[in-house]
Every structure is written in structure tokens, then in C-alpha cells.
A and B are shown apart, each in its own frame.
Chain A
Amino acid sequence: MHEPQPTFDLQFSAYAQSGQHFLEIERYDLAERDLRQALLYAPEDAYLHVLLGRALDGLDRTAEAEEEAQTAVRLDPESVPGILLLGKLRMDQGRHREAEQLWLDALRLDPTEPVLYLNYAILMRKTGHLDKAERLLRRCLVLDPEYAPAHGILAVILAEKNRTSDATRHGERGLSLEPDRDIAHAQLGITYLQTGHPFKARYHLREALRLDPRNRGIEETFHVADRATRAVYLPFYFWSLWVSRIPGKQFAVWGAYVVLISVLRSSPVPQNLVAAFSVTYLAFMIYTWAATPLVNLWVRVRPPQ
């Protein structure tokens, strides 16, 4: 048996570590270069294949990323990171059932891995199973109470479920754990946007955009928040937020208006007041239809700063 060469070890470690570092700072091209070098020294290292797969996924080279993930799982069938990556690629391809099955298999291998719960919860949210997503994230936070991404996603889910205070608490906790993470700012921004705090939402989404100016998703959400802070749109923002929370939405409002008008017409209330109420309601309805084109026009006149 040969003794491992010190130079061999040093070079391997240097490539593997710099590859991992470049991956963390999202320089996927450089990560790929160094991880491929590291793999020349250790072609059977399943974890290196996973890292390379992640870099290739970051470069949108999905087929190659999948190949690397498959290789990792072939080399080590119990490689949780390998299964995790394979599941993530399946989820991105819309093959949600396969992703779920892979992550359930991974959870059987390691039911104490928070990142598995997080990814499974993201899948559940994407497919509209919000209750299960919430339960998965709560289990994840039992395993690691300081796992910032879990707080962030949980905040967004709770905001969607109209549990405002719980949502902001988790969003703020997630940001306090990782104050320089763009996604933590973005998640708190989305949470604020969905819970009626457009100015705070705009601030955090702008911070997120400052930290990652290339993220198109954050940029689009920032523009949504920016529109919500414009005076011409603000009443409509609060109105639509309120209407989205009542059963029957705008139809329930219309129904309530019709019933109210019918009652008022046969009541001793002066009819000119009833007419004024009707005109006000109609004017407001016209405003709700016009609010979006109006704010779009205003954004052209005064772009976000």
C-alpha cells in the first residue's frame, strides 16, 4: 500500500476548499474549475461530485448537475447531500412527486438533518400544501432553533396564512441570525408586504437588492413593494390586502353592498345619503380598477430611487 503523498493531499485540499468557498460566494464558474481539479485527485469522492453538481446547477447546466448528483448517489447510496441535490433538481424540473420521494428517502437515512426539512417544506409550499410546510419547518426549528433560512420561509408561509405577528416574528428572527444575507432581507420584505407594512417591505427588499443586485426575483418583488408605497396606490394596496382575507373576496363586498343598499332604501335614512353612499362606492370601485395603470404611469414619471 502506498503512503499518501503530502503534495497530493495539499493540492487536493486546496482545490476542494477553494471550490467550496467559490460555491458559497456564488462564483459558480470558479467553483466548477477548482472542484474539477479536486476530482482529478479523488474521483470517487461522492461529496465532491455533489459540490460540483451544485456549481453546475448554479450555472444552469441542469443535465450535467444531474449527472454529478447521480454519480454521488451511485458512489454512496446513503449520501444525503447527493439525494438532496437530486431532489432539488427534480423539484426545479417540476417532477415534484419524485423530489418528495427522494427527500423522504433521505429523511429515513437522517431524520435529524434540518436542511432536508427545509427543502421538503419549500416543495410543500410550492405545491400549496401550506400546513405540511409549516409543520416541517417547525420540526426543522426544533432540531436547529437558529436555522435562519427556516425562520425566513416560515415567515413567508405564515404571512400567506394571515398569521401576521407570528410571521413578522420569524422573519425578524431569521434576519437577526443572518443580517447580511440577501434572502433573509427578501423574505422579511415579502412578509411585510403580505402583512400590510409596505414601507418596511420596500426597505428590506432594497437591502436585499443591494446585497444581490443580479437577483431578478428580488428586483421584481422590490418593484411590487415600491408601487405599494406610492400615494396613488396605497389605498388600493390596503383594500386588496383586506379583501384577499375575507371569504368570498370582492364578491362578498359586492354582496354586502347590495344587501346594505336594499336595507337602506326601505329604511328612514334620507335617500340622498343613500345615493351619496352609492356614488362613493362606485367611485371607489372605479379607482380600484384604475389603480394599477395609474401607479404604472406614476412609476414612469418618478422611477424608484
Chain B
Amino acid sequence: MNRMASYPEDDLFTPTLTEEDDADGFERPWSPSSLVVLTFFFGIPAGGSLLALNFSRLGMPRKVLPAVFAVIAATLLFTAASGWSYAHLHHEGQRNLLVLVERALQTAAAGALAWAQRRRYRIFRNSAAEPGKLLLPGVLAAAASTALQIALTLLFASLF
């Protein structure tokens, strides 16, 4: 007799874990929440691109490309908005407000990517291994992101 029948309604006895729940395939991932902070200060090209790469470091390679495309699209969208604001918004208060809204939206977008990595990163942290060092890639990403955003904003400003 199958004694499981005593709990017929139970989903406690059905498997929950998937391939992503196994603790393998890690390559010193970065902390997703640190990358959200990086995005907050230096924009989505900085934190978002590292978050996209972090999918690979977390052993989730299939999510790298969609994340890269999302980051590229978000970068173009936000720099286009900045370029438009320089061409059309002449009141400083309005421009500042747009910058704040952009910053909030970029941070939220990075937060969404980090949210997709949180369970996998938790499994990694439980394996007691050390996360990847973020200082050098963070500095490089911040510098590249700042340069890219200035260039794209100027480009879009001239187009609008």
C-alpha cells in the first residue's frame, strides 16, 4: 500500500527543485545587490551589463543574451530620453526631474535582473564559496558607462 495516500491533497510530496537549484556551474559570481547599487550611481550600462554577465557566472547561460539585449535597449531608451530632454527641456527643474525618474527606472530595471538571480546567488552563498571581486570590473564598467552615456546623449541631442 502506498502510504502517501494518507496525504492525497499534498503538493509537499511533489518535487520542487529544478536544474537551477543544483549548486554547480558557479564561476565566482558577483553580488547582484552590489550591481544594483552600481547601477544607481553609474547607470544601467554599468550595473546592467555586469548583471547580464553575472547570469553566466551563476551558471544560467541561457539568460545572458536576453539580459544583454534588455540592457542595450534600456541604455538606448534612457540616453535617447536624456538627449531629447537636452534638446527640448529648457527648464532645469524639469530636466532634473527627468534625471531622477530615469535613475529610479534604471535602478528598478537592474533590481528586476537582480531579482532573477537572487535564488541562484543564495544557493551559491550557501556553498560557502567566495563571491567574485567587483572592484576592478566595477570601476571599468562605471568609466565605460559614463563615457557611453555622454556620447549617446550628445548623439541623440543632435538628432532631436
Min Cβ gap A80→B in Å is 12
Chain A interface residue count, Cβ-Cβ cutoff 8 angstroms: 28
When the two chains form their complex, are residues B18 and A111 in contact, meaning their CB atoms are under 8 A apart?
no
Within A100-141, the residues touching B (CB, 8 Å) are 100-101, 104, 107-112, 123-124, 126-129, 132, 135-136, 139
When the two chains form their complex, are residues B16 and A124 in contact, meaning their CB atoms are under 8 A apart?
yes
When the two chains form their complex, are residues B13 and A107 in contact, meaning their CB atoms are under 8 A apart?
yes
When the two chains form their complex, are residues A108 and B4 in contact, meaning their CB atoms are under 8 A apart?
yes
When the two chains form their complex, are residues B21 and A136 in contact, meaning their CB atoms are under 8 A apart?
no
Q: How far is the CA of A135 from the CA of B9 in the complex (A)?
A: 14
Q: Which residue of B lies closest to A135 (CB)?
A: B12
Contacts of A94 in B (CB 8 A): 22-24, 123, 127
Contacts of B17 in A (CB 8 A): 96-97, 100, 123, 127, 129
Min Cβ gap A140→B in Å is 10
When the two chains form their complex, are residues A97 and B19 in contact, meaning their CB atoms are under 8 A apart?
yes
Does A255 touch B at the CB level, under 8 Å?
yes
Q: How far is the CA of A17 from the CA of B91 in the complex (A)?
A: 84
Question: CB-defined interface of B1-20 with A at 8 Å, one 1/0 digit per residue?
Answer: 01110110000111111110
When the two chains form their complex, are residues A95 and B12 in contact, meaning their CB atoms are under 8 A apart?
no
When the two chains form their complex, are residues B4 and A128 in contact, meaning their CB atoms are under 8 A apart?
no
Within B1-55, the residues touching A (CB, 8 Å) are 2-4, 6-7, 12-19, 21-24, 36, 40
Contacts of A275 in B (CB 8 A): none
Does A263 touch B at the CB level, under 8 Å?
no
Q: Which residue of B lies closest to A124 (CB)?
A: B16
- A126-B123, A127-B123, A251-B107 as given contacts; A108 in contact with B2, CB under 8 Å: yes
Does A297 touch B at the CB level, under 8 Å?
no
Within 8 Å by CB of A136, from B4, B6, B12, B122, lies B12
Does A258 touch B at the CB level, under 8 Å?
yes
Does B104 touch A at the CB level, under 8 Å?
yes
Within 8 Å by CB of B21, from A107, A110, A127, A248, lies A127
Q: How far is the CA of A167 from the CA of B14 in the complex (A)?
A: 27
Contacts of A96 in B (CB 8 A): 17, 21-23, 123
- A97-B15, A258-B100 as given contacts; A127 in contact with B119, CB under 8 Å: yes
Question: CB-defined interface of B69-108 with A at 8 Å, one 1/0 digit per residue?
Answer: 0000000000000000000000000000000100010010
Within 8 Å by CB of B6, from A95, A97, A111, A129, lies A111
When the two chains form their complex, are residues B119 and A255 in contact, meaning their CB atoms are under 8 A apart?
no
Within 8 Å by CB of A255, from B12, B13, B104, lies B104
Question: CB-defined interface of B122-160 with A at 8 Å, one 1/0 digit per residue?
Answer: 110011000000000000000000000000000000000
Q: Which residue of A lies closest to B123 (CB)?
A: A127
When the two chains form their complex, are residues A101 and B15 in contact, meaning their CB atoms are under 8 A apart?
yes
Contacts of B2 in A (CB 8 A): 108
When the two chains form their complex, are residues A111 and B127 in contact, meaning their CB atoms are under 8 A apart?
no
Within 8 Å by CB of A97, from B21, B111, B118, B119, lies B21
Q: Which residue of B lies closest to A97 (CB)?
A: B17
Min Cβ gap B13→A in Å is 6
Q: How far is the CA of A123 from the CA of B21 in the complex (A)?
A: 10
When the two chains form their complex, are residues A128 and B12 in contact, meaning their CB atoms are under 8 A apart?
no
When the two chains form their complex, are residues A100 and B15 in contact, meaning their CB atoms are under 8 A apart?
yes
Min Cβ gap A246→B in Å is 13
Min Cβ gap B139→A in Å is 17
Min Cβ gap A5→B in Å is 39
Q: Which residue of B lies closest to A131 (CB)?
A: B16
When the two chains form their complex, are residues B16 and A132 in contact, meaning their CB atoms are under 8 A apart?
yes
Contacts of B119 in A (CB 8 A): 127-128
With contacts A128-B119, A128-B123, A251-B107 known, what are 15 further pairs, Cβ within 8 A? A94-B22, A94-B123, A97-B18, A107-B4, A109-B3, A111-B7, A111-B13, A123-B17, A124-B16, A127-B17, A127-B122, A128-B118, A129-B16, A132-B12, A251-B111
**19 A–B pairs (Cβ distance < 8 Å), ordered by A:** A94-B23, A94-B123, A95-B22, A96-B21, A96-B22, A96-B23, A96-B123, A97-B19, A97-B21, A100-B17, A104-B15, A111-B3, A111-B13, A128-B119, A129-B16, A132-B16, A251-B104, A251-B111, A254-B40
Nearest 8 A-B pairs (CB), nearest first? A94-B23, A128-B119, A127-B21, A128-B122, A97-B17, A96-B21, A100-B17, A126-B126
